[in-house]
Amino acid sequence: MSEAPGTEYLYVINYPTFERELALLEIRSLFGMHIEKKYFYSDRHIPPSRSVFIKACISILYRAGSLDDLVDLLVQNRVRYEQFKFVRFSVVGGGLGYREWLHSAAALGAVIQGEVDMYTAEHLLGVTCLEGQWVFGVYESCDSSWTAHDLKPHTYSNALSVRTARSLVNIAVGPSVDTSLVDPCCGIGTVVIEAASMGIDVKGYELNWSIADKANKNLIYFGFDRLVTKQDMHEITETFQAAILDLPYGIFTHSTPQKQQALIRSLRHIAVRCVIITFEDMDEIIEDAGFTIIDRATVNKGQFTRIIRLCE
């Protein structure tokens, strides 16, 4: 039995089958690792609320090969928490059943110095067992307040979903939110809202005046500044660390293959790291514009299939 070597985190994720590729691309972008299971360990801390797929994070304090050994570790180290409680979380493909979790939480809670508080606990703790390894630590849940962004006053049917937009932001910026991001064809502003809610320095541009105005009204509705400018993408002179381009396909603004190619070429001059979303195979066009496609995924919405590429 041993204490965890340094700070390590256990992440528990979940996703529906149709979003699997998107979820795994996001995990690769945030953590730099490919995963097969719906839990993984990392020395990198990402707040669970950034992702629609991360359900819980445990800051690991102690590991052991058995529950008894884990209890002994807490006794030896005189672990103390005032006003604490254990939070149960499920792990697809592993973890503890309810009775086993209840027993383990009771055994650990009995040796923690402090008082259990089931209603106003200041400290949330987690315990589970995965592949024969017992893990104890501080529990951090996902705050899903971002789901309220589904209720924005202005939208249209073919806009990116809030879930997809939030994931695209994470894919574009990677682990750190201390970066600049642009959506040069931002439409109703879904990506801009999600980025702003994460504290990212974000700007949006939209050619259609009416849509740009509605995007700003959406931002104001959620308490953000007007971050969308009515401007042609080709006229953007500012550069950004990351960009997300959901290529217009002609529903609200007339578009042609030639115009789409021109947008991709202009994107090359705006940002180095870019997420490009299309409805058809445009790999050759993207590469001809000077991009290298380093990762990809597809995501379905109704009858549409979006191809997502992470490019540098």
pLDDT at 252: 45
Domain boundary among 141, 163, 190: 141
The enclosing domain of 84 has a CATH number of 3.30.2130
pLDDT at 301: 66
The enclosing domain of 225 has a CATH number of 3.40.50.150
Could you state, in chain order, the average pLDDT of each consecutive group of 10 residues for the chain (312 residues)?
68 94 98 96 96 97 97 97 95 93 97 94 96 96 93 88 96 97 97 98 96 98 98 96 87 66 95 94 94 94 84 97
Residues 152 and 242 in one domain: yes
Say which amino acid occupies 92.
V
Say which amino acid occupies 98.
Y
Residues 133 and 263 in one domain: no
Residues 133 and 62 in one domain: yes
- pTM of the prediction? 0.93
Domain boundary among 141, 167, 196: 141
Residues 131 and 153 in one domain: no
User: How many domains are contained in the chain?
Assistant: 2
Residues 192 and 246 in one domain: yes
Residues 137 and 189 in one domain: no
Residues 53 and 109 in one domain: yes
Residues 10 and 110 in one domain: yes
**CA–CA dist 155, 181 (Å, integer):** 22
Residues 132 and 152 in one domain: no
**CA–CA dist 16, 301 (Å, integer):** 13
Residues 186 and 267 in one domain: yes
Print the domain residue range for 272. Answer: 147-311
Domain boundary among 116, 141, 166: 141
Residues 96 and 177 in one domain: no
- Cβ atoms of 70 and 136 within 8 Å: the answer is yes
pLDDT at 300: 79
Residues 6 and 90 in one domain: yes
